[in-house]
Structure formats: structure tokens, C-alpha cells
Structure 1
Amino acid sequence: MFYRDGFFWGMHLIWWAIWFVALGWIFFAPSGTSDAEINEDDPVTTLKIRFAKGEISKEEYEQSRNLLRSDK
């Protein structure tokens, strides 16, 4: 019935395309972690963020930074 006028074949191709896009999205989408989240574990980065927020003074920042750098 639908095979001769091409309607069925067109819908069939559309469904295959939808499945390929969905599977590609699942397997090739970037993961949830970013470089910014990974670098937040760095103590110097955390120290910089605290200083930028005003949680610590300039003297505390420099003292802590020097202490962290001397351990390496």
C-alpha cells in the first residue's frame, strides 16, 4: 500500500536518522566534568578564589601562597 509511492521508505529513513542522532548524542556527548571543576582541587586556585571573594586579607593570601609554594 505505502511501498509504491515512497511514503513508507521516507518515514523509515527519518526514524533511522533519529536513532543515529540519539545514539551519537549518548555516546559522544561531553562528560559532566569540566577542566574548571578539576582545577578547583588545586589549593592555590582555592586560595585565589578566597582572596578574590574577600574572605582573606592580602597578607594572609601571600603568606599562605608562599607556604604552599615552598612545599612543592
Structure 2
Amino acid sequence: MFYDGYHFWGMHLVWWFVWMIFIFWIFAIPYDIPGQRRKREAPLDILKRRFALGQITNTEYQEKKKILENDSSNLS
């Protein structure tokens, strides 16, 4: 009776805004919640995993580890 299709447009727009914020919050949350994104791995952790899987040799591991440790000490 009072609703001609435009009277509640402002509230409709507010709800779209609330839903967009809610969806952004879900995908942008930095915490490790089951089913959500994982935190980024440190380069040394990636190197250790590659060595454990046999993707790189011990020599390559030692060389790259030395480089990463030197880079991290230079940043401090």
C-alpha cells in the first residue's frame, strides 16, 4: 500500500553496504580460522619443506639457507 518500489531504497542500500563489509571482512581476516586462508610461510620454512620433500639437495639447501640468513641479518 505505502511501498511503491522506492520508499525503502535507502534502507535497501544500507543493507547492501552492510553485506559488502561483512563479505570483505570474511575474506580479509588475517587469522588462521579453519576453512580460511592460511598465513604466509616464511622463506626459510618453504626451503625446509622443499628439502624435506627431496626437491632440492643438501648442498642447495645449505647455500640457500646461508643466503636467507644473511638477508634476514641485514634487515635487522
TM normalised by structure 1 equals: 0.48
TM normalised by structure 2 equals: 0.45
Q: By percentage of residues, which structure has more helix? A: 1
Larger Cα-atom Rg: 1
